[in-house]
Amino acid sequence: MVEQQRLTREPRKILITGGAGFIGSNFVHHWCDRYPGDRVVVLDALTYAGNRKNLAGLEGRANLRFVQGDICDRPLIDALLQEEAIDVVAHFAAESHVDRSILGPDAFVRTNVIGTFTLLEAFRQYWNASDQPAHYRFHHVSTDEVYGSLGADDPAFSETTPYAPNSPYSASKAGSDHLVRAYHHTYGLPTLVTNCSNNYGPYHFPEKLIPLMCINILMGKPLPVYGDGQNVRDWLYVGDHCSALDAVIHRGRPGEMYNIGGNNEVKNIDLVNKLCDLMEELAPELPVRPCHQLITFVKDRPGHDRRYAINATKLKTEIGWTPAETVESGLRKTVQWYLSNQDWWQPLLSPEYQAYYKQVYTSV
């Protein structure tokens, strides 16, 4: 069915916001590889976590255009929609790191709430002016963190779980989710919302848990683990996430939400131990061996959610998607990528990053 869809579908013109970030750039690679006849417009502000090197090998293609710009810039959004005759918006652009939202929530409200509102308003007016084509889509990429925290025995988050965000980051994403839902309910805008679990894979900025551990192991630095390390996350390989987003854009019902999970619940401390084992296997000349001795427990993050878990039954039942990677296979691919791409991550360890790192992990 999917292969037939690829062969028979009409070419699309897609605007991908945040397309130089972690998940967004992986999605750009996925879409360009899968649909080489589509027009792809990438919009990214190139803040600290946006990196044009993430699009290496794609820029220069006739069907891809990169634009550096802010999603809060309404005239720019209007111009791109009209100039490029966009029929799909895939909205990834967001401030996404919980620790940074605790230190400075302002940017999260501006980008995640005001930015999403700006895009929705621009797309609504553009869609209306185009006589409301049925095939247009506005796909908003969100997070499972909007649901709050689970106890050890609580059922996994479903699409009907009440929102209970606990950080400035998750609250700002919840606000943007509500706006998207309201624009479908009030204006009939053909929206889609997906709420995913923790992603990992290539092009992940070094501040996030998995790349942080890989890089610190390579450098012989402490591996900071919050609290008692018993916090649980459902880990989703970014390639699986991209294939799920592709499926939802093509086969999801407008106005619906879909949870995307990896079926991989792992305690943080167990994940770090898995990474230590993989690094020792794949990088034999580490500065510290065994690298497990680098694990250092640090003061817990304020308001740290204890457990996330995703029930993706709706996605499987309605659309037929399931993840291809296990946490073991996905982590192996990820570790190999960071080992093979040190020229990508080394320049990111800037003085600004080092100052942020010191501020967050004060007890390391």
Identify the CA nearest to 225 among candidates 300, 150, 140: 300
Q: Is a pLDDT exceeding 70 seen at residue 4?
A: no
Q: According to the model, what pLDDT value does residue 357 have?
A: 84
Q: Is a pLDDT exceeding 90 seen at residue 229?
A: yes
Instruction: Name residues whose C-beta falls within 8 Å of residue 78's C-beta, 6 or more positions apart in sequence.
Output: 122, 125, 126
Identify the CA nearest to 196 among candidates 149, 235, 138: 235
362 band by pLDDT with thresholds 50, 70 and 90: low
pLDDT, tens digit (0-9, with 9 covering 90-100), for 274-322: 999 999 999 989 999 999 999 999 999 898 999 999 999 999 999 999 9
Q: Does the active-site annotation cover 145?
A: yes
Identify the CA nearest to 53 among candidates 311, 345, 310, 333: 345
Sign of the alpha-carbon dihedral angle for 194, 311, 317, 179: negative
> Is residue 300 helix, strand or coil?
coil
Catalytic-labelled residue, pool 44, 70, 145, 305:
145
Q: Is a pLDDT exceeding 70 seen at residue 6?
A: no
pLDDT, tens digit (0-9, with 9 covering 90-100), for 24-73: 999 999 999 999 999 999 999 999 989 999 999 998 899 999 999 999 99
The Cα–Cα gap between 174 and 164 comes to: 9
The Cα–Cα gap between 95 and 173 comes to: 9
Identify the CA nearest to 248 among candidates 320, 185, 182: 320
Catalytic-labelled residue, pool 44, 95, 99, 144:
144
Q: Does the active-site annotation cover 144?
A: yes
The 10 Å Cβ neighbour count of residue 305 is 21
Q: According to the model, what pLDDT value does residue 154 have?
A: 96
> Is residue 120 helix, strand or coil?
helix
- In this structure, are residues 157 and 150 in contact, taking their beta carbons and an 8 Å threshold? yes
Q: Return the percentage of the chain with pLDDT > 70, whole number.
A: 97
Q: Is a pLDDT exceeding 50 seen at residue 87?
A: yes
The Cα–Cα gap between 97 and 170 comes to: 9
Beta bridge partners of 67: 43
Q: Does the active-site annotation cover 163?
A: no
Q: According to the model, what pLDDT value does residue 1 have?
A: 42
Catalytic-labelled residue, pool 126, 136, 147, 169:
169
Report the mean per-residue pLDDT for the chain. 95
pLDDT, tens digit (0-9, with 9 covering 90-100), for 150-183: 999 999 999 999 999 999 999 999 999 999 999 9
- The token pair at 83 is 């100039």
User: Which CATH number does 2-205+236-263+308-327 carry?
Assistant: 3.40.50.720
Q: According to the model, what pLDDT value does residue 356 have?
A: 84
pLDDT, tens digit (0-9, with 9 covering 90-100), for 121-151: 999 999 999 999 999 999 999 999 999 999 9
The Cα–Cα gap between 208 and 62 comes to: 33
Instruction: Name residues whose C-beta falls within 8 Å of residue 192's C-beta, 6 or more positions apart in sequence.
Output: 137, 138, 139, 140, 248, 249, 252, 254, 255, 256, 257, 258
Q: According to the model, what pLDDT value does residue 271 have?
A: 98
358 band by pLDDT with thresholds 50, 70 and 90: confident
